[in-house]
A and B are shown apart, each in its own frame.
Chain A
Amino acid sequence: PVAKRAVAEAVQHDKVPRPVGFVPPPPPCPGKIRHFRI
């Protein structure tokens, strides 16, 4: 368990901080569903 926590923390520290209000761009395709999906 100790080793797992250490790895998790290291990954957290490596993350690039996102600017406040950042919204990731939607995937280019497929597009939005206008009605419903069947």
Chain B
Amino acid sequence: VPAAPPPAPLGCDDPEAEAAAEFAVNYINGHSRHGYKFALNRIDNVRVVSQGLNNDIMFLELDLLETTCHILSPTPLANCTVRSFTQHAVEGDCDVKLQKLNGKLSVLASKCHSHADSSEDLLQMCPDCPLLASLNNTEVLATVTAALNDHNSKSTEPYLRLLEIGRARIQYHPVHSVFVEFAVAATNCSLGEAKENVEGCQLLPEDQSNFGFCTASRLIRPSEDLSVDCQLYGHQVPHHMLPSLPEYSTGQDTS
């Protein structure tokens, strides 16, 4: 077989590299079960190794940014808002290996790690901004529990169970506040049934499942106050994206 000519060097902003990056980001989001959808921020590097005629291996290094869309949200990535700097942004670094065979892309391997922006950098720009807190922080857990109880006690919808806490931020000055976001799933229980035996509450069958997302803020000082907003997606989630219960996201990895 005659050797294929070496592929022309590809720039990070070339349409071919951008198409491959978009494909890779969709793959990464499609195979994530926890946290939030990530959006492309920059192509750090691209390398193409020819395997023969119309057969290339592409290595991509991608910078991603966390969006406000939970991974279970049906909102297309294009409509998801990238978290602002003041919301304490989270960046994802991904290495992706793709094959481009006869023009068709496929992901062979991907590895991602994510990290939050430095607290010092954020406080320098925004001294009063709340900072990301650990998901197992006692104030965070107390806020999530209070928020979910508050919602369930006032709602006429099915009893909601916690799927995972997505992110949490705590502000200490000028007021002490806790901000949480968490994913929920509807169960087959009413509030009364849940009060009697919450362990007996099961997720609704997959074709009826309702997944949702809640945001809550709890003011602790100078006075106590709690506000909660839960929205059910009301759609069917592909089976491979169903989280197992009880399972909580304890990290920020996108892989």
B42 touches A33 (CB 8 A): yes
Residues facing A in B69-128 (CB within 8 A) are 82, 85, 89, 91, 117-118, 121
Q: Among A29, A35, A38, which residue has its beta carbon within 8 angstroms of that of B11?
A: A29
State A35–B82 Cα separation when bound (angstroms): 8
Contacts A36-B85, A38-B89, A38-B121 given; indicate if A31 touches B9 (C-beta within 8 A): no
Contacts A34-B41, A35-B39 given; indicate if A28 touches B12 (C-beta within 8 A): yes
Taking Cβ atoms with an 8 Å cutoff, the residues of A that contact B are 26, 28-38
A31 touches B13 (CB 8 A): yes
Q: Is the interface of A mostly helix, strand, loop or mixed?
A: loop
State how many angstroms separate the Cβ of A37 from the closest Cβ of chain B. Answer: 8
Contacts A38-B85, A38-B91, A38-B121 given; indicate if A28 touches B41 (C-beta within 8 A): no
B42 touches A31 (CB 8 A): yes
> Which residues of the partner chain A approach B13 to less than 8 Å between Cβ atoms?
26, 31-32
- The reply to whether the CB of B43 lies closer than 8 angstroms to some CB of chain A is yes
Contacts A38-B89, A38-B91 given; indicate if A28 touches B9 (C-beta within 8 A): yes
- The reply to whether the CB of B17 lies closer than 8 angstroms to some CB of chain A is yes
> Which residues of the partner chain B approach A32 to less than 8 Å between Cβ atoms?
12-13, 42
- The reply to whether the CB of B144 lies closer than 8 angstroms to some CB of chain A is no
B117 touches A38 (CB 8 A): yes
